[in-house]
Amino acid sequence: MKGVIEIENKYVPLWEKANLTLEEASMYFGIGQNKIRELTNSDDCPYVIWCGNKRLIKRRLFTEYLEKMYSI
């Protein structure tokens, strides 16, 4: 089932998750993974949590950022 993550036989919809992986963010926002990677490459990006080499996108902050943008 796309857009839903299964945890212990329970499904967590993407719109309820606070942080998204690149793949999940790509599905949720309809933006390619490479473009999201490009937008989140800086170390001081306010809508990214770095967990080692893995980046998690803060869904709410990234949504607010996209709403303010004319083009990306």
Position 56 in a domain: yes
CA atoms within 13 A on the CB side of 49: 11
* Total number of domains in the chain: 1
**pLDDT over 80 (residue 64):** yes
Distance CA 2, CA 52 (A): 26
In the chain, the amino acid numbered 59 is R
SS3 letters for 1-46? CCCEEEECCEEEEHHHCCEECHHHHHHHHCCCHHHHHHHCCCCCCC
CATH of the domain at 36: 3.90.105.50
Domain membership of residue 30 (yes or no) is yes
Q: Say whether 62 sits in a helix, a strand or coil.
A: helix
Q: What's the predicted TM-score (pTM) here? A: 0.78
Query: Per residue in 30-56, pLDDT tens?
Result: 999 999 999 999 888 899 999 888 999
pLDDT, residue 2, reads: 65
Asked if residue 25 is part of any domain, the answer here is yes
The pLDDT value recorded for residue 38 is: 93
> Which residues form the domain of 63?
18-68
